[in-house]
Structure 1
Amino acid sequence: MSKRPKIKITLVDRKGPCACHRGHRIGDVFDYDEDRGKLCPMAMHVAFPYIDILRYGGTLPPCKEGDFRFCCSDVDVINVFRIEKIDD
């Protein structure tokens, strides 16, 4: 069985008027395997389907910046995260 690729999640922007309730700030980086429990559960809920797609051979459509991004579901915060598959 081949090793699953690492998944890196980086907070790159905030669109909402309020600060993150979990204290996340632009520039925070999370390793999916190493940092479980550190990423806000609301953001993790949105991220998980994308993580599954990347880990099992799928691809995600790039946004205008050329990478893939998703937002947390908290309408007051709207943190924007970049997700990347890191191949060893």
Structure 2
Amino acid sequence: MANTERGQVTIMLDKERTLRFTLNTLIDVEDTLGFSLSKLGDNISIRVMRTLLTAGLRHEDKELTEEFVGEYITMDNMEEVQEALAKAMGENAKN
């Protein structure tokens, strides 16, 4: 079960999974993207979203790939995924 007090958010993909971002996770994201997350601002591309989502899920399964995770993001759940990412990263999702 996700601990929302610690920034964990449950999301349904192929099964129920828990997003969690640590400092190491964010460094891995920056390494993968090749730039600082501070440069993102409010303009997160679909590619960045997939990278963030995959990184935030790897604490449960180190073998997850971006391609695998990307297969479970569709237009039907895109908004839910964006909101989960925002909550897990400590931002306010829609009020």
Q: Which TM-score applies when normalising by structure 1?
A: 0.30
Q: Which has the higher helix share?
A: 2
Q: Which protein is bigger by CA-based radius of gyration?
A: 1
Q: Which has the higher strand share?
A: 1
Q: Greater RCO between the two (CA within 8 Å, min separation 6)? A: 1
Q: Which TM-score applies when normalising by structure 2?
A: 0.28
